[in-house]
Chains A and B, each alone.
Chain A
Amino acid sequence: MIAGRGRQRIRPPRRGLHGDEIDFEKTWGTIASAFREIHTKNASRLSYEELYRHAYRIVLKKKGEELYKRVRDFEHDWLSNEVRETIQTLLSPNLLANSQNLGGTTTNERRVAGEKFLKGLKQAWGDHQVCMSMLADVLMYMDRVYCTDHHHPSIYTTAMVLFRDDILNSPTSDADGSAVLGLLNHVILDQIQMERDGDVIDKHLIKSCVYMLESLHEDEMESEDQRLYNTSFELEYLNTSRDFYQQEAEFLLRDSDAGAYCRHTRRRIYEEEDRCRSTLSEVTMPKIQKVVEDELIKNRIHELVEMESGVRFMIDNDRLDELNLIYDLNSRVDDKKSELMRAIQKRIVDMGTDINNAAIAASQASAPAPEPGDKGKGPAQERSLNQQTVAAIKWVEDVLQLKDKFDRIWKDSFSSDQPLQTALTRSFADFINSPTFPRTSEYISLFIDENMKKGIKGKSEHEIDMVLEKAIVLLRYVQDKDLFERYYKKHLCRRLLMNKSISNDVEKQMISRMKIELGNNFTMKLEAMFKDMTISEELTSGFKKHVAGLGDQDPKRIELAINVLTSMTWPLETMGSGDDEEGKRPKCIFPTAIERIKRGFEKYYNEKHSGRQLTWLANMGSADVKATFPKVPQKDGTFKERRHDLNVSTYGMVILLLFNDLPADQFLTFEEIQARTNIPNSDLVRNLQSLAVAPKTRILIKEPMSKDVKPTDKFYFNEGFQGKFVRIKVGVVSSGNKVESDRERRETEKKNDDSRSFCIEAAVVRIMKQRKELSHQQLIVETLNQLVGQFKPEVNMIKKRIESLIEREYLERIDGARVDSYRYLA
């Protein structure tokens, strides 16, 4: 472009722009005196352009280095002479004494002296900054040309370094070697300490001093972590804070309760946060927080949690706020909140064990050990069983209450923290499945039973839902689900057969809930029971029609309602009194009228389903007997025939019918009754007891009158029987669902163990069939996994089952394998 206009002459720059050779010393003199003016704040008389021009010229004349040095020296002189002197005057003896911890001054004096010092320093620093930025402006050309070319730091930076060296690192007095910087740190810390103790301090002042420290660096590199603030002040700050909080923690732990401690700690944390924001530097925030957290929380959390007024106290007294605080604090230092979790878990297990023990105690206190060989169940034992049932229900309610309590704590205080919930659940499972308390399954089932029979009466659907939900909640914790199933089946069986259940719908709801919770397998048999009931109803009405169709209009006709139960699904053996072994059950001899209708039904049933065998369970069921009592003199002197509908057990009916054929003054002995009815001994005793001993239903008279029924006792028909109601229910002892006696329990457990054996074997075979070969350890693990939904088998039991399977040649050991292994034999 220039070549294109080649003919035009390019004029050389006119002289005068540079000026001629200049006299360096003279020019410097001008500049230096101007600088002095600037430092004494008289800059407004100076012409920037003139100064700039001078500096510009000097640099142009290659005197940049000289200028740079001169300026530095100038600043050095200025700082060490003028400024330092000002600072020195601020160093009152008090201040110096304090820095060496000599004490002896009041807080107020310290504060005033400290503030004065800080103010002076801040002033000096501020002035220096302003002046230097002006100088730097004037020397801009030098910075731009000379410093860049020679890799010198800009004059501004250099001057800042000078400030550090000449002021901050200068000794506070000629006598001792401590630097102003140290004193500065000390003063700031002192002020902060005053604030911690509740005084008001000048935050802005400190903040500006912190700014100063932040903008100065330890070395020339000016890296972030080499700032004086980081290298000198922050370190000391953190250390003193650590000491302070350490002491404070000790003091607080000794002198106040846990709640106060938590509140205090939280306040401190916020304070420090605030302080970093308003007084110090934001970069310190995480560090000081860590210090506070370490000292006040992490190192103390254990003591705090264990304090008398610690977590335990808070839980017991529902101090939700304080628990929330602890949670908050703990989660600051520990994501897992292990301390809190541990304490909570311990508390749950403790409280749970208390409930367990209370239940055990309640059941034992009221049940003085039943005499061995006690025939039948005496009323005393009966009562104790009742109390045990109450204890069982109380246990369930207590556990539910505990669960509610902790749920509330979890929700309100622990912000629904997930890991904590897991921990809570685990703790509940721990004490509910505690080996010292084996009755959980039974108790829960009893609880449901109680509710099904009475509890839900008159409750709204929603309330019923709640009850069911509660039961399910507990069930979730239970490990040995099979045991529960056994009990539930038994209790359900009683409810269904004896029509004790209030609402079939609710029963079905419960089962569908269990199905959701525990799976199909679990409820299959329970559902089958319901099906049997429905089928039985159909059968009964079918049979009624059938009988009506026969035209056999017997005035004494007996109506039969029957339940046909599939023997596999119903826990019938548990229904019988434990005396008779299965298969040995003697057949009850029914009176002829009954026998006839029984045959009729058998025939009817066989027509419908051929090849099925009906076994009559006379020990269950009940009968309505219309009894007519002859005219005998009454207490009020009237002669009246009385009719009563007696609701008795099947056995009771059989017994009563015997007396039908008997003249009024005749009697039957116990042995005679037994011979003619073939009712098992214990059942007979119980039925006779309720017919002849219980005062309200004394339909028979026993001779001699006593509570116990002996084989030699004689029984008469009580012609003078009186009842207030037309309909009288003759209860048979022990027909409801109650806590099992010890013997029953042992039996249940034994049966349970038996069925577990099958489950385990089945599981082992399933696994081995699939895997063909497996090491012992793996097999155990997989078996446990498979069965976890039903129960938790003992390893020993699994081993035994494996042994037994080997004996029966389902499996074989693999010879020579490094670890014990098995092979599946097809």
Chain B
Amino acid sequence: MTAPPLTEYVTLVSNDAFEFKVLRSAAVLAGTIKKALDPSSNFKEGATNRVTFHNINGVILEKVCEYLYYNQKHEESKDVPDFDLPPELCLELIVAADYLGV
């Protein structure tokens, strides 16, 4: 099993074919993404560094990525500014978050 070197960025793909290049360190904050990319599990995603989500569209995925960065940035700081959530996306985001294990 020749594990491909871990890349700095990974690609997240939405069901409407938007691609987001995200820092790996930020992406793995989501449980599902982390497991998918785990090199020791040796799934297809791990080899290609590319995860496709068949049930999340680009708008939501963008928000998710935004949140992952936001999360990474404020991981250790206090007095975190509120994360701006457009209300109209609330429910869908919640579902996505549940799915991704964020």
Find chain A residues with CB under 8 A from B51 CB: 48-49
Cα of A139 to Cα of B70 in the assembled complex, Å: 28
Would A48 and B95 be within 8 Å (CB), given that A11-B88, A140-B31 are in contact?
A: no
User: Is the C-beta of B71 less than 8 angstroms from some C-beta in chain A?
Assistant: no
Would A50 and B54 be within 8 Å (CB), given that A10-B87, A13-B91, A137-B35 are in contact?
A: yes
Find chain B residues with CB under 8 A from A19 CB: 55
Find chain A residues with CB under 8 A from B45 CB: 47-49
Within the complex, the shortest CB–CB distance from A636 to chain B, in Å, comes to: 120
- The reply to whether A10 and B91 contact each other, CB–CB distance below 8 Å, is yes
- The reply to whether A17 and B92 contact each other, CB–CB distance below 8 Å, is yes
Within the complex, the shortest CB–CB distance from A236 to chain B, in Å, comes to: 34
Of A8, A9, A14, A46, which contacts B92 at CB under 8 A? A14
Find chain A residues with CB under 8 A from B101 CB: 140-141, 144
- The reply to whether B43 and A47 contact each other, CB–CB distance below 8 Å, is yes
Cα of A49 to Cα of B31 in the assembled complex, Å: 12
0 or 1 for each of B81-102: is its CB under 8 Å from A? (1 = yes): 0000001111110011001010
A8: nearest residue on chain B (CB-CB)?
B87
User: Is the C-beta of A609 less than 8 angstroms from some C-beta in chain B?
Assistant: no
Would A53 and B91 be within 8 Å (CB), given that A48-B35, A137-B38, A144-B101 are in contact?
A: no
- The reply to whether B54 and A48 contact each other, CB–CB distance below 8 Å, is no
User: Is the C-beta of B47 less than 8 angstroms from some C-beta in chain A?
Assistant: yes
User: Is the C-beta of B29 less than 8 angstroms from some C-beta in chain A?
Assistant: no
- The reply to whether B43 and A10 contact each other, CB–CB distance below 8 Å, is no
User: Is the C-beta of B72 less than 8 angstroms from some C-beta in chain A?
Assistant: no
0 or 1 for each of A103-118: is its CB under 8 Å from B? (1 = yes): 0000000000000000
- The reply to whether B41 and A13 contact each other, CB–CB distance below 8 Å, is no
Of A47, A53, A134, which contacts B55 at CB under 8 A? A53
Of A45, A49, A130, which contacts B54 at CB under 8 A? A49
- The reply to whether A14 and B88 contact each other, CB–CB distance below 8 Å, is no
User: Is the C-beta of A52 less than 8 angstroms from some C-beta in chain B?
Assistant: yes
Cα of A14 to Cα of B46 in the assembled complex, Å: 29
0 or 1 for each of A42-62: is its CB under 8 Å from B? (1 = yes): 011111111011001000000
Of B41, B57, B90, which contacts A43 at CB under 8 A? B41
Cα of A134 to Cα of B36 in the assembled complex, Å: 10
Q: Which of B14-38 contact A (CB under 8 A)?
A: 15, 31-32, 35-36, 38
- The reply to whether B92 and A13 contact each other, CB–CB distance below 8 Å, is yes
A1: nearest residue on chain B (CB-CB)?
B87
Cα of A144 to Cα of B96 in the assembled complex, Å: 15
User: Is the C-beta of A12 less than 8 angstroms from some C-beta in chain B?
Assistant: yes
Find chain A residues with CB under 8 A from B46 CB: 44, 48
User: Is the C-beta of A16 less than 8 angstroms from some C-beta in chain B?
Assistant: yes
A42: nearest residue on chain B (CB-CB)?
B42
Within the complex, the shortest CB–CB distance from A142 to chain B, in Å, comes to: 12
Find chain A residues with CB under 8 A from B91 CB: 10-13
Q: Which of B41, B51, B92 has the most CB of A within 10 A?
A: B41
- The reply to whether B38 and A43 contact each other, CB–CB distance below 8 Å, is no
Within the complex, the shortest CB–CB distance from B44 to chain A, in Å, comes to: 5
Q: Which of A126-152 contact B (CB under 8 A)?
A: 130, 133-134, 137-138, 140-141, 144
User: Is the C-beta of B56 less than 8 angstroms from some C-beta in chain A?
Assistant: yes
- The reply to whether B92 and A11 contact each other, CB–CB distance below 8 Å, is yes
Within the complex, the shortest CB–CB distance from A321 to chain B, in Å, comes to: 53
A4: nearest residue on chain B (CB-CB)?
B87
Find chain B residues with CB under 8 A from A134 CB: 41-43
Of B52, B90, B96, which contacts A49 at CB under 8 A? B52
- The reply to whether B95 and A44 contact each other, CB–CB distance below 8 Å, is no
Of A10, A14, A52, which contacts B90 at CB under 8 A? A10
Find chain B residues with CB under 8 A from A8 CB: 87-88
User: Is the C-beta of B9 less than 8 angstroms from some C-beta in chain A?
Assistant: no
Within the complex, the shortest CB–CB distance from A48 to chain B, in Å, comes to: 4
User: Is the C-beta of B67 less than 8 angstroms from some C-beta in chain A?
Assistant: no
- The reply to whether A44 and B47 contact each other, CB–CB distance below 8 Å, is yes
User: Is the C-beta of A5 less than 8 angstroms from some C-beta in chain B?
Assistant: yes
Find chain B residues with CB under 8 A from A46 CB: 43-44
Within the complex, the shortest CB–CB distance from A628 to chain B, in Å, comes to: 117
Q: Which of A470-495 contact B (CB under 8 A)?
A: none
A14: nearest residue on chain B (CB-CB)?
B92
- The reply to whether A44 and B42 contact each other, CB–CB distance below 8 Å, is yes
- The reply to whether B43 and A48 contact each other, CB–CB distance below 8 Å, is yes
Q: Which of B43, B45, B47 has the most CB of A within 10 A?
A: B43
A133: nearest residue on chain B (CB-CB)?
B41
B-to-A contact residues, CB < 8 Å = 15, 31-32, 35-36, 38, 40-47, 51-57, 87-92, 95-96, 99, 101
Nearest 9 pairs of A and B residues by beta carbon: A48-B43, A48-B36, A137-B35, A17-B55, A134-B41, A13-B92, A48-B45, A43-B42, A47-B44
Q: Please, could you name 22 A-B residue pairs with CB atoms under 8 Å apart, sorted by A?
A: A8-B87, A8-B88, A9-B88, A11-B89, A11-B92, A12-B91, A14-B92, A16-B55, A17-B99, A43-B41, A43-B42, A44-B47, A48-B45, A49-B32, A50-B54, A53-B55, A56-B99, A134-B42, A137-B35, A137-B38, A140-B101, A141-B32
